[in-house]
Amino acid sequence: MRTRAGGFTLIEVLVAMTVMAVMAMMAWQGVDGIVRARDASQQRLEQTLRMNSVIGQWEQDLDAIQESAAVPTLSCDGSTIRLTRRAQGGLQLVVWALRPGASDYGWWRWASPPVTTVGELQDYWLRTQQFQGGEPGQLRTLTGISAWQVYFYRGNAWSNCQSTGQGLPSGVRIVLSFAPGSGQNGSVTRDALLEP
């Protein structure tokens, strides 16, 4: 009498390997999806933190505004905002500008060293009138911006920052519009109250 030897046939082994390969593929796709979702969330978080830092710096600059008879305290020409602010060791001239980059626009910031004389402050003011982009000390703070608008609050109404008005406004509104594909959606509006 012959006894049958224990084991699996070739067909059974091939079926088992095929099932294991399908399960491994499904597991790999699941892990890949989790990693991609994590990476996208991390990138979005970094962009949001960056934007909050930059807007925080913008608001700090506005909070430290200092009126000066030597140069305009706050001026706007549509593409550039210049302001004079208090800084440790004197007054500082700060420039915020929307400038084109290689593929999109960026929001740039430049700050002079603190100065203590009228001549130094006026000299930096005149230099900033000739900025073309790429000057030493300029920092590209945000990218992916398609446009910006700046408004001043005067006489119980918001008006374009280029509108004529006397004296320092009581508030500043900035609207940053983001380009498609920049990782940000729509626009961001921030209002800042200027202390008298």
What is the distance between the alpha carbons of residues 189 and 156, in angstroms, rounded to a whole number?
18
Q: What tokens appear for 26 in the block? A: 């499904």
Question: What does the pLDDT read at residue 5?
Answer: 66
The mean pLDDT value for 83-91 works out to 91
> What letter represents residue 106's amino acid?
G
Question: What does the pLDDT read at residue 154?
Answer: 87
At residue 2 the predicted structure's pLDDT band, cuts being 50, 70 and 90, is low
The mean pLDDT value for 20-35 works out to 90
pTM: 0.77
The mean predicted confidence, pLDDT, of the chain is: 86
Residue ranges of the domains in the chain?
A: 45-193
Q: Are 160 and 140 in contact (CB under 8 A)?
A: no
What is the distance between the alpha carbons of residues 53 and 72, in angstroms, rounded to a whole number?
26
Give the percent of the chain with pLDDT over 90: 31
pLDDT digits (tens, 9 = 90+) for 93-135: 999 988 876 666 788 899 999 999 999 999 999 888 877 666 7
Distances (CA, A) of 179 to 79, 145, 146, 148, 185: 17, 5, 5, 11, 8
Has residue 182 got a pLDDT over 90? no
Distances (CA, A) of 181 to 49, 107, 148, 149, 186: 18, 17, 17, 20, 11
Distances (CA, A) of 19 to 12, 27, 48, 76, 166: 11, 12, 44, 68, 79
CA proximity to 133, closest of 108, 150, 103 = 108
Contacts of 189 (CB under 8 A, 6+ apart): 173, 174, 175
Give the residue with greater pLDDT, 125 vs 167.
125
